[in-house]
Amino acid sequence: MVPLSYYLVLSGILFTCGVLGFLIKRNIITIFMSIELMLNGVNLSFVAFAAHWQALSGQVFVFFVMVVAAAETAVGLAIIIAVFRTRATLNVDHVNLLKL
């Protein structure tokens, strides 16, 4: 059996990748994917703990996160398309109309 700590380390690596991608990348699609990566990194630690403690609530919570992520993706992609139509770019640094 794979020890719990392996899962957690992988989960941490995934989350950190997500954070770094979110901070560094300029392409809005990539940023979006980075967010998904962070969510899934957390999901991994949820299911790992659920398996380790033999408790279902972790699994349930993962489903809940997935639902929220799906909803978020739907809204987020719609926004991205709208932004691309008006600004003809996906670079977030160029989407700065509200900035002082």
Partner 1 sequence: MTLHLWLIPVLPLIGAAINGLLGRRFSRQNVAAVALGFCGAAFVCALYVAARFSSPSVPYIEHLAPWIRAGNFHADFSFYLDQLSLVMLLVVTGVGFLIHIYSVGYMWEEGGFYRFFSYLNLFMFFMLTLVLASNYLVMFIGWEGVGLASYLLIGFWFTKDSAASAGKKAFIVNRIGDFGFLIALFLMIKHFGSLNFGQVFQSVSGMEVEKSGAGLLTSIGLLLMVGAAGKSAQIPLYVWLPDAMEGPTPVSALIHAATMVTAGVYMVARSHVIFERAPIALMVVAIIGTLTALFAATIGIAQTDIKKVLAYSTISQLGYMFMACGVAAFSAAIFHLMTHAFFKGLLFLAAGSVIHAVGGEQDMRRMGGLRQYIPWTFWTMTAATFAIAGFPPFAGFFSKDEILWRASRVSLVYWGIGLFTAFLTSFYMFRLWFLTFFGEYRGGGGAAQEPAATHGGHAHEMHGHSGIHESPRVMLVPLVILAVLSVLGGWVGVPGSLGGSNRFDKFLSPVFHSTIPPRQSEGMPPEERTEGAEPAAGRSQELLYTAISVGAAAFGLYLAWLLYRRRPELPARIAQRLGRVYDAVANKYYVDQLYAILFVKPVVEGSKEILWHGIDQNIIDGAVNDSAYNARHVSDAVRHMQSGNIRSYAGWIAAGAAAVIAYMVWLGVR
Task: Supply the minimum distance, in Å, between the C-beta of residue 20 and partner 1.
Answer: 9
Q: Which residues bind partner 1 (CB under 8 A)?
A: 19, 22-24, 92, 96, 98-100
Shorter beta-carbon distance to partner 1: residue 85 or 99: 99
Rounded Cα–Cα distance for residues 4 and 17 (Å): 20
**At residue 14, what is the residue type?**
L
Task: Supply the minimum distance, in Å, between the C-beta of residue 24 and partner 1.
Answer: 8
The secondary structure of 28-39, three-state, reads HHHHHHHHHHHH
Under 8 Å between Cβ of 61 and 70: no
Shorter beta-carbon distance to partner 1: residue 38 or 48: 38
- Three-state SS for 91? strand
Shorter beta-carbon distance to partner 1: residue 16 or 57: 16
Task: Supply the minimum distance, in Å, between the C-beta of residue 31 and partner 1.
Answer: 8
